[in-house]
Amino acid sequence: MRKTPLFSVSGLRKSYGAQLGCRDVSFDLHPGEIMGIVGESGSGKSTLLSCLAGHLAPDHGDVCFDVDGTGLVSTLAMPEPERRLLARTQWAYVHQNPRDGLRMSVSAGGNIGERLMNIGARHYGNIRQDACSWMDRVELSVGRIDDRPATFSGGMQQRLQIARNLVTSPRLVFMDEPTGGLDVSVQARLLDLLRSLVQDLGLSVIIVTHDLAVVRMLAHRMMVMQRGEIVETGLADQVLDDPQHPYTQLLVSSVLQV
């Protein structure tokens, strides 16, 4: 693993008027690393992720990314066209609700091909081929490539959203509750898929979830958030097996053992 981080956050703060979103968030993410962010509803996880992905402008702090392997560059200071290009090529964002991340009126193949066409692909046959191989890769039947996502089940939509995001081989993926709203067996398959994709492609991932099982399965490191602040951080297994902060202890002990 390289010594220099791929992604670095320092002193990030975001508030909505008097309402605090998140504050004093600092961490580094190295290439190939998976960071889990957990916390209860309203603890500022999604605000933090939106700030990291550039959807929201933080009030304070900086978000840096190693764009071309030459060192960290502030994504907040870079001009908007560059940031949007970054978001289309080297970054990916998987929404909790696949309907937010997909174009529901465009076929599955068109959804996967969109990012390719955005970066200049103009050969239908090649785009089609890439779309087919990604359908296959996320375990969707290639025969449904021309169907609209509205006719897909929730789990299939989520897998399609993942394919759509990964087709341009991004280096950093943001995921907001990717397994939310799915039943447990579908969740398990999706997690399996995510884990193998992340390993095969060497992705770095920042994953926000309230499901500790997701963190246990996927994440190398984790941060626990409460009321907009990070209360505990460490290796995922270490934090889950030996929680130090009272809130983390509560969180871990609240998981139902079946």
Partner 1 sequence: MTEQIITPSANDKNDTTTHNPETHNFDATDSYNFAYLDEQTKRMIRRALLKALAIPGYQVPFASREMPMPYGWGTGGVQVTAACLTPDDCVKVIDQGADDTTNAVSIRSFFARTAGVRTTEATDEASLIQTRHRIPETELTEGQLLVYQVPIPEPLRFLEPRETETRKMHALSEYGLMHVKLYEDISQHGHIATAYAYPVNVEGRYVMDPSPIPKFDNPKMSDCAAIQLFGAGREQRIYAIPPYSHVKSLDFEDYPFDRLRAPGACALCGADDSYLDEVIMDDQGTRMYVCSDTDYCSTRHERGHVGDQSDLFDSEEG
By CB under 8 A, tell whether 123 contacts partner 1: yes
Give me the least distance between CB of 127 and partner 1, in Å please. 7
DSSP H or E segment with residue 226 = strand 221-226
97 HSE (CA, 13 A, CB side): 6
By CB under 8 A, tell whether 122 contacts partner 1: yes
Going 9 to 10 to 16 to 21, the CA torsion angle's sign is positive
Which stretch, 15-23, 108-116, 150-158, 184-192, contacts partner 1 (CB under 8 A)?
A: 108-116
State whether residue 109 is helix, strand or coil.
Answer: helix
Structure tokens, 223: 């941060």
Q: From the list 66, 114, 130, 232, which residue makes contact with partner 1 (rule: CB under 8 A)?
A: 114
Residue closer to partner 1, measured from CB, 3 or 122? 122
Structure tokens, 40: 């209860």
Structure tokens, 117: 């066409």
As a whole number of angstroms, the distance between CA 103 and CA 241 comes to 41
What residues between 68 and 97 interact with partner 1 by CB under 8 A?
80-81, 84
Give me the least distance between CB of 145 and partner 1, in Å please. 7
DSSP H or E segment with residue 238 = helix 236-241
Which stretch, 111-119, 154-162, 196-204, 240-248, contacts partner 1 (CB under 8 A)?
A: 111-119
Residue closer to partner 1, measured from CB, 3 or 123? 123
Beta bridge partners of 172: 91, 204
Residue closer to partner 1, measured from CB, 88 or 210? 88
By CB under 8 A, tell whether 106 contacts partner 1: yes
As a whole number of angstroms, the distance between CA 130 and CA 67 comes to 25
Contact set with partner 1 (CB under 8 A): 80-81, 84, 103, 106-107, 109-110, 113-120, 122-125, 127-128, 145-146
